[in-house]
Homo-oligomer: A and B are copies of this chain.
Amino acid sequence: MTKVAILGATGYTALELIKILLRHPGVEMTALTSREETAPVDQVHPSLIGRISLPMENLSAKEVASRAECVFSCLPHAASAAVIPELLENGVKVVDFSADYRLHSPEVFKKWYEVEHPDANRLGKVPYGMPELFRKSIISANLVANPGCYPTTAILPLTPLLREKLIESRDVILDSKSGVSGGGRKPKLNYHYPECNENITTYNVGKHRHLPEINQYLSMAAGTSLEVIFTPHLTPMDRGILTAAYAKPARTNITQSEILDVLRNFYQNEPFVQIVEHLPGTKEVAFTNRCHITARVVGERIMTISVIDNLIKGASGSAVQNFNLMFGYEETLALL
The B-contacting residues of A in range 233-287, CB under 8 angstroms, are 233-240, 242, 244, 246, 271, 274, 276, 278-287
Closest to A47 in B: B284
Min CB gap A49→B, angstroms: 5
Contact check, A198 vs B296: say whether CB atoms are below 8 A apart.
no
Whether a CB of chain B sits under 8 angstroms from the CB of A112 is no
Interface flag for A328 (CB, 8 Å): no
A116 to B251, CA, bound (A): 38
What mask results when residues 12 to 29 of chain A are scored 1 for a CB within 8 Å of chain B, else 0? 100000000011000000
Least CB distance from A326 to B in Å reads: 24
**A173 is an interface residue with CB less than 8 A from chain B:** yes
Asked whether, in the complex, the Cβ of B175 is within 8 Å of the Cβ of A244, the reply is: yes
Contact with A236, one of B49, B228, B237 (Cβ below 8 angstroms):
B237
List residues of chain B with CB within 8 A of the CB of A239.
198
Q: With A280-B201, A303-B205 as known contacts, state yes or no: A336 contacts B193, CB within 8 Å.
A: no
Query: A200 contacts the other chain (Cβ, under 8 Å)?
Result: yes
Stretch at the interface among A61-69, A72-80, A151-159, A183-191: A183-191
Separation of A155 and B237 alpha carbons in the complex (Å)? 29
Report yes or no: A305 in contact with B202, Cβ–Cβ below 8 A. yes
Whether the pair B238, A236 counts as a contact (CB closer than 8 A) is: no
Q: A199: CB under 8 A from chain B? A: yes
Interface flag for A181 (CB, 8 Å): yes
Enumerate A16-68 residues with CB–CB distance to B below 8 Å. Answer: 22-23, 45-47, 49-51
With A22-B336, A171-B300 known to touch, is A276 a contact of B49 (CB < 8 Å)? Answer: yes
State how many residues of chain A have any CB contact under 8 Å with chain B.
Answer: 75
Interface 1/0 per residue, A193-235 and B, CB below 8 Å: 1111111111101100000000000000000000111010111
Closest B residue to A172 using CB positions: B299
Give the docked Cα–Cα distance between A329 and B227 (Å): 52
Name A50's closest neighbour in chain B (CB-CB): B274
B187 touches A187 (CB 8 A): yes
Residue from the list B175, B200, B228, B281 in contact with A281, Cβ < 8 A = B200
Q: How far is the CA of A305 from the CA of B202 in the complex (A)?
A: 8
In the complex the two chains form, what is the Cα distance from A18 to B320 in whole Å? 24
- Knowing A173-B301, A296-B205 touch, does A12 contact B191 (C-beta < 8 A)? no
Cβ of A46 to closest chain B Cβ, rounded Å: 4
Instruction: Tell me, yes or no, whether A180 is within 8 Å of chain B by CB.
Output: yes
User: Given the complex, which residues of B lie within 8 Å of A238, measured CB to CB?
Assistant: 193-194, 197-198
Can you give 15 contacting A-B residue pairs, CB < 8 Å?
A47-B288, A50-B271, A50-B290, A177-B233, A180-B197, A183-B194, A185-B192, A187-B187, A198-B286, A199-B283, A205-B305, A229-B301, A231-B244, A234-B281, A287-B287
Given contacts A46-B278, A231-B244, 8 further A-B contacts (CB under 8 A): A177-B233, A193-B195, A194-B238, A197-B197, A200-B281, A200-B282, A202-B305, A233-B244
Counting from the closest, the 3 A-B pairs by CB-CB distance are A201-B281, A199-B283, A206-B298
Report which A residues bind B (CB closer than 8 A): 12, 22-23, 45-47, 49-51, 171, 173, 175, 177, 179-181, 183, 185, 187-189, 191-203, 205-206, 227-229, 231, 233-240, 242, 244, 246, 271, 274, 276, 278-288, 290, 292, 296, 298-301, 303, 305, 336
